[in-house]
Amino acid sequence: MSEHRISESQPLWYAFVTRPRHEKKARLSLDGAGIENYLPIRSVLRQWKDRRRWIEEPLFSCYIFARIAYNRRWDVLTSPSIVRIVSFNHTPAPVREEEIETIRRILTTGVEVEVQPGLLPGTQVRISSGPLAGLEGMLMGQRGEKFFVVHIPAIGKSVLVSMGDNIVEAV
């Protein structure tokens, strides 16, 4: 997450959490209120017992983006389909314009996309809780497990720690 200084009156993109399966209703509500929003939609081929059909579904389940000034966040939060604004450490987390445009561009190409939850292996992280809180390293994966890695370049060795109950956050 990049550091943004929150301006009360400058419009920025924010992510909002919606009620489950209410993303399209949230979009209609925000459109009706004249609030600029973006709901990334992808086409997916679904298989039922008797048929196959292409359907449109949100790329990110339970999320919608709105471009608003922070002091107008209540205009979005009063929608019955919106639950809360996405925040980290009780601070709203603006989404960069470039990230929104990247998502738009990818979805216009028609390439198949997949959303990966959580942090990906290779991400520089800090352990935020547990007995190793405060340590920084890299998140790695092996055989379906995630490991925290501390590399010691002077001796050319790395220490792998199974994540277990440790919680990590991106640095």
Statement: 11-109 belongs to CATH 3.50.50.60: no
List of E strands, the chain: 11-18, 37-38, 41-47, 52-58, 63-69, 82-85, 87-88, 91-92, 94-95, 124-129, 136-142, 145-152, 157-162, 167-170
Q: Per residue in 109-156, pLDDT tens?
A: 877 787 866 777 788 888 877 777 888 888 776 556 676 666 656 555
| pTM (two decimals) | 0.73
